[in-house]
Structure 1
Amino acid sequence: MGSLVDLVQALSFCRDLSGVMAVVRMAARALSGADGVTFVLREGELCHYADENAIGPLWKGRRFPLATCISGWVMLNRQPAVIPDIYQDDRIPHDAYRPTFVKSLVMVPVRAEEPVAAIGAYWATTRHPRAEEVAMLQAVAHSTAVALTNVQLYESLRAALAESQARAEEAERANRAKSVFLAAISHDLRQPLQTMRLYHNMLSERAANGRAAANTAGGAVAVPSPANGLANALDRKLIAGMGEALSAGEELLRALLDVSVLDAGTVAVNRQRFGLEATLAGLVSAIRGDAEKAGVDIRLRPGAKVGPRAALEEADTDPVLLKCVLRNLLTNAVRYTGRGGRVLVSTRRREGAMLVQVWDTGIGIPKDQLDTVFDDFVQLGNPERDRTKGLGLGLGIVRRMARLLGVTVTVRSVPGRGSVFSVLVPAVAAVGSDDAVTTPSDGLLTFPRDSQRPAHRESDPRTILAVEDDALQRMALGAIIESWGYRVITASGSDE
């Protein structure tokens, strides 16, 4: 290494202390013309002769008290020491130097304001080091100080990065564990909730039948007693309350299961072509009942038709996941639109895509909260956590599913006037009919509607076999089928 510039360049590539010392021991000797160079580190109250390059052995690997050696004096006093004859200087421990070749030396501190090391140059003859030699050695020390600072910063950065990666991995493990836990608990809660739903519907039906029987005994209108009337009213109130509690539990269970499955990364995207407008019509029709109860007018405005085949344009994505996204947006719009408000669903064609927009005249979203509404359990205007206003998971599920589908969901809003959520759905020209997609069940067993329920049979020779692996549900399922007037045989599996 022929120049100070070469030294600085070489030190700039060093990433650890051993690399710095290796560069310095070679460069310092070459630049100073000395017969030997040593690199001394300060370790508390000790001098550690960590490295050397010399014509003979010095003290590599040994440690001495700061007060007993010249390197310690240099670091304590924060100034160089120039000694033409070591045996004429009281700062030198003569006995320690006699086994060596050293007769003259220059020792300079590394980082003068707060020395952390010292560099020494030694000669085998008694001589007075020139000012240029001392200056050169001091320049080496300055460059070394910068290199050591860089090493410390690099090591701190590497340690911080390692800690950050460890924390990220820990967070990822915790997130996976949370998802596994939620999936397990959601699965385990399904069975008792489904069983309770069956028993609740049986109680509701019995209460309704009992009330009808009491009112029409033998074709004559009966006059119930006040006590019976109060009891029946209380029964109906209790059964209704149980139904509301079950509905809340089922809603939370479905949301938690959706979140856990999406976070666990086990949902596969099943890309298909399907009629988007027909799908939207089905969703609007399905949610219209809830909207009417809330006093909200909900309508669908299809996209403009241009040309004979414009209406046959199809979506090209996963129909089940997209329906979940749109259903959550529609439910959210109805929930946050007050009585007398409106929700409009519209479609517009874009190049290679269909823009689906859900407009509402609800409470709106402040500008600084447009991003946070997609976070889990975030609800605007619901500090009391009223369950009738939702769980705060709908838009979080929307964000997860949109990412999985690779579609864009955006929101614009004016507080007090309403919001519009937009979904850009990939679309292609249709090659067949524009049929609505059928979405599979969400897995929760729901009681049949009145129009689907079998008529009660007083006497019927037919027997129904009910197969259900969960004991609680098997018992409840058998009981409800018997209440319809059928004989029932229950089994836990095909072998049984």
Structure 2
Amino acid sequence: MKKLLRILHLEDDKNDFRLVQMALDQWKLNHDIQLASTQEEFLSTLSNNEFDLILSDSSIPGFSGRAALEAARERFPKIPFIFVSGHIVDESERDVEAEYVSKEELGKLKSTIKRLMEDAGIKTEARKDSDSSTKQLIDAVQQLSLARDLQAVMKIVRRVARELTGADGATFVLRERGLCYYADEDAIAPLWKGKRFPMSACISGWVMNNSESAIIEDIYSDSRIPADAYRPTFVKSLAMVPIRSKNPVGAIGNYWASKHKATSEEVEMLQTLANSTAIAMENVHLYNELECRVEERTQQLKAANEELEAFSYSVSHDLRTPLRHIKAYSQLLKEDSADQLGDTGNDYLQHIRESASRMGQLIEDLLKLSKITRTEIVKEQVNLTQMVNEIASSLREEDDFTDRQVTFAIEEEVEVEGDPSLLRVVIENLFSNAWKYSSEEPETKISFGCNQETGEPDIYYIKDNGAGFDMEYADKLFSPFQRLHAESEFSGTGIGLATVQRIIHKHGGRIWAEAAKGKGATFFFTLSAKSSEKNATE
């Protein structure tokens, strides 16, 4: 007997849930997955059902993944638990009782589930490839994922719903202002397409009101059936399932011209189709609001300019998620439809992917800035000279201009007290800028050193002989997104110096710059109000 793997998935983003579903279907795992998109839905589903595995986002609004793990452990002490998260969780922050898989690497989910199930003594068996109905259902889910309007959704569902079970007819019913609207159908003879009935007067209304399926072998022996409405039709038996388990938005019906009791497998397939239909309908709604959502994202970015400290959750969840979808689906478009797009279409697609990559880098930089703002520093003795030498060597190795003449002047044995990881971010940013903005010079000169004055904090500096800048705009240097050079001259996101300033401030220091256009720049910084020890070799 095959083991049906029962999975509960805590996820508030329907697209991410669908991508996980598709990953499991491609593996042909014999499973049943339930979605919980809120804290209340998760806790209720958890308490009223049995599960073999739980998947969870790192957090949803008002409910953390850790809280979900604790609730799961209380209900099922030994149940395998996997965080499927859109952002990287540091090793130090991970819970030892759970596994972690990135949404960027869903391919790893298969091996993780298999290992956990084997550890738990549960054998996961794949469905047979010869099961044409299952293959057809998978194809339908994939088609629904690409549907962009309700008509396309109904066209797919009415056909597949009938073919999955071998029914003589299928209907697509929508809840419409307290009525059941029979929006579409595919049948051997006309049924009720285009008609509306009170919710209390038809079986589809009962299914939606009760959020459960109905299986009726003899329609004339069931009190829920309005017999007079069925007598002019061929229908003798039916099966009806809700579209969406919570607050259904519609129903899918199957009808047979001779008595037929739908099997549990038929109803399960029909319900899976209905669940995918619910997601597709939600996506259609989202696509219709795309222009509004783009404007909303623009406003969020403007707000980010004023207050990056508030970016922790909104950047990670609201910006990375749709961008990940753009990248994922543009890749699918490239793989599946490159020939149909033609040269111009493929060129447009490449521009989309390149822009998405640049936006991805910008978001990564913002997340680093947000994370650094929240990070507690751990101070220890740091040899800045050694760190600077390592970074300088790395820049030489990575540079594409093999004939470039570069001279480094690095002061010996400069030691400070600070957080080594954060200080490396400072030095990497400042040295990378010096390297970049002096790239047009025939001979690049970059120096690092420390100035000491009695009773004053040590002042560290990094100097270059590059493009420099007009000191009139120096006040913009450390503001996010502010750049003093065009992208065509020198690439960048305008986040690096803002990150550096945050780190210096966390160390109790300050940072400033002196420059002249075309004559290079020098960045100075201190790390505390107290002088650091500096041991210069004789």
Does the pair score TM above 0.5? no
Quick one: higher RCO (CA 8 Å, sep 6+), 1 or 2? Answer: 1
Highest CA radius of gyration, 1 or 2?
Answer: 1
**TM-score between the two structures when normalised by the length of structure 1:** 0.37
